[in-house]
């Protein structure tokens, strides 16, 4: 589950929802060993973690309940089989605009995983969610540098799996002028002596970063949707929740396992409905698993991920 929310954790609705999410997550951890960090954003650097003993969990709850300061973000993790920080994982982070992010990753077969996600989803009432998604997927280790480029193309078999690079402060969902400026400079350097017309410099349209079993659509993104709910079919559930709308593909998430011939038509219908609200195709491809401009095969796999719901024949 990855949510982008307009506002900060100091805003009352966001503060309440994030506190409920954190408490539900801590309850889910139970008495198992855990680690946490509340630190300044550090980019791709590894984090120093403290053991989340009873005092640490109390500190976490208090910090979130009072509004996580905008110069801090929170990581709270369980442990992997070797006792190192691992999934389950909760992350709360601030981004410019202002924007708040909530990200939760759970072992998909963990007892109570879907119940926890349902609790977090219910806590979002009255929250100005801008974009987000929930569903089954593959994720790298929750801490450390970004390994998205090394994730194998598992989406070729598990066609509904979420694998988009979960980089904080994603320009996919917001217009980042510094990012645009950087890309335009790259264009000019690549063009060398060739003149670039006024309409040619790189720009992009922010929007939804991906489609999951449940997709969250808020802000102006909803205004791009022209198709009526009646056209979507009985397997899709559209829920208008005030600040945002959710579209859910079927009664439960699926992997879309090609080897099991799982039917992904509900996900394809959701994508067709939401395509006008999606972020710029090129931006999604740049964030897709395995993307590399220098490797044709990895570039092809990244494009295949972005287009996995576009045409049924492409899934073969």
DSSP 252-271: S----BGGGT---HHHHHHH
Between 98 and 158, residue with greater pLDDT? 158
End-to-end CA gap in the chain? 27
pLDDT of residue 178: 75
pLDDT at 64: 93
Nearest to 211 by CA among 147, 140, 163: 163
Residue 261 buriedness (CB in 10 A; 0-12 / 13-18 / 19+): exposed
Please tell me the least confidently modeled range out of 107-111, 126-130, 183-187, 279-283. 183-187
Q: Exposure string (b/e) for 270-279, b if CB count within 10 Å is 16 or more?
A: bbebbbebbb
Q: How many CB atoms lie within 10 A of CB 219?
A: 18
For residues 88 and 63, is the Cβ–Cβ distance under 8 A? no
Q: Rounded CA gap, 218 and 289, in Å?
A: 25
DSSP string of 59-101, one letter each residue: HHHHHHHT---TT-EEEEEEE-TTSSEEEEEEEEEEETTTEEE
State the pLDDT at residue 315: 41
- For residue 163, report the phi and psi dihedrals to the nearest 5 degrees: -140, 10
Predicted pLDDT at 144: 54
Q: What is the pLDDT of residue 124?
A: 96
Which range among 11-25, 39-53, 157-171, 188-202 shows the weakest confidence by mean pLDDT?
188-202
> What pLDDT, on a 0 to 100 scale, did the predictor assign at position 149?
58
Q: Are 158 and 256 in contact (CB under 8 A)?
A: yes
pLDDT (mean) for 66-83: 85
- pLDDT tier, 316 (very low <50, low <70, confident <90, very high otherwise): very low
pLDDT, tens digit (0-9, with 9 covering 90-100), for 109-126: 888 899 999 999 999 999
Between 281 and 198, the more confident residue is 281
**Stretch 3-11: mean pLDDT, rounded?**
93
- Tokens for 222, please give them: 């909803």
Tell me the per-residue pLDDT of 131-174, one tens digit each, with 9 for 90 and over.
Answer: 999 999 987 776 655 555 566 788 889 999 998 866 656 788 88
Q: Has residue 314 got a pLDDT over 80? A: no
**259 vs 51: which has the higher pLDDT:** 259
Both tokens of residue 275?
Answer: 């395509």
Mean of the pLDDT values across residues 54-81? 87
pLDDT of residue 177: 74
Residue 4: pLDDT band with limits 50, 70, 90: very high
Q: In the Cβ-directed half-sphere of 275, how many Cα atoms lie within 13 Å?
A: 14
Per-residue model confidence (pLDDT) at position 182: 75
| CA distances in angstroms from 25 to 53, 65, 120, 248, listed in the order given | 15, 14, 9, 23
| Residue bearing the bigger pLDDT, 152 or 91 | 91
CA distance linking residue 298 with residue 304, whole number of Å: 10
Work out the percent of the chain whose per-residue pLDDT is above 90. Answer: 45
Q: In what order do the strands lie in the sheet with 99-105?
A: 50-51, 35-39, 73-79, 85-95, 99-105, 2-6, 129-134, 214-218, 244-249, 236-240
Q: Which residue has the tokens 């790189």?
A: 202
pLDDT of residue 200: 59
Using CA atoms in the order 40, 212, 156, 81, what is the torsion angle rounded to 10 degrees? 50
Number of H helices, E strands in the chain: 7, 10
Q: What's the pLDDT score for residue 198?
A: 55
pTM of the predicted model over 0.85 = yes
Element (H, E) at 246: strand 244-249
């Amino acid at each position: 589950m990855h949510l982008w929310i307009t506002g900060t954790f100091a805003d009352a609705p966001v503060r309440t929802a994030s506190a409920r999410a954190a408490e539900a997550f801590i309850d889910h951890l139970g008495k198992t060993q855990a680690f946490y960090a509340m630190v300044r954003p550090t980019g791709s650097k590894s984090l120093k973690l403290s053991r989340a003993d009873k005092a640490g969990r109390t500190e976490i709850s208090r910090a979130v309940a009072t509004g996580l300061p905008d110069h801090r973000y929170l990581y709270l993790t369980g442990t992997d089989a070797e006792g190192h920080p691992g999934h389950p994982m909760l992350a709360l982070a601030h981004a410019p605009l202002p924007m708040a992010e909530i990200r939760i990753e759970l072992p998909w077969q963990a007892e109570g995983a879907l119940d926890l996600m349902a609790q977090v989803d219910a806590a979002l009432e009255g929250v100005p969610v801008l974009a987000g998604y929930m569903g089954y997927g593959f994720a790298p280790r929750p801490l450390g540098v970004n390994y998205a480029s090394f994730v194998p193309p598992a989406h070729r078999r598990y066609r509904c799996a979420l694998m988009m690079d979960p980089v904080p402060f994603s320009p996919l969902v917001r217009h980042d002028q510094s990012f645009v400026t950087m890309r335009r400079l790259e264009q000019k350097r690549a063009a060398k002596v060739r003149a670039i017309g006024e309409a040619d410099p790189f720009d992009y349209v922010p929007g939804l970063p991906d489609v999951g079993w449940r997709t969250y659509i808020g802000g102006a993104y909803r205004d791009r949707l022209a198709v009526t709910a009646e056209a979507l079919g009985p397997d899709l559930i559209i829920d208008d929740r005030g600040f945002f709308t959710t579209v859910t593909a079927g009664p439960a998430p699926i992997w879309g396992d090609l080897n099991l011939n799982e039917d992904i038509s509900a996900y394809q219908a959701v994508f067709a409905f939401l395509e006008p609200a999606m972020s710029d195709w090129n931006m999604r491809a740049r964030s897709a698993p395995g993307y590399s401009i220098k490797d044709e095969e990895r570039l092809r796999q990244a494009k295949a991920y972005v287009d996995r719901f576009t045409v049924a024949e492409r899934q073969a």
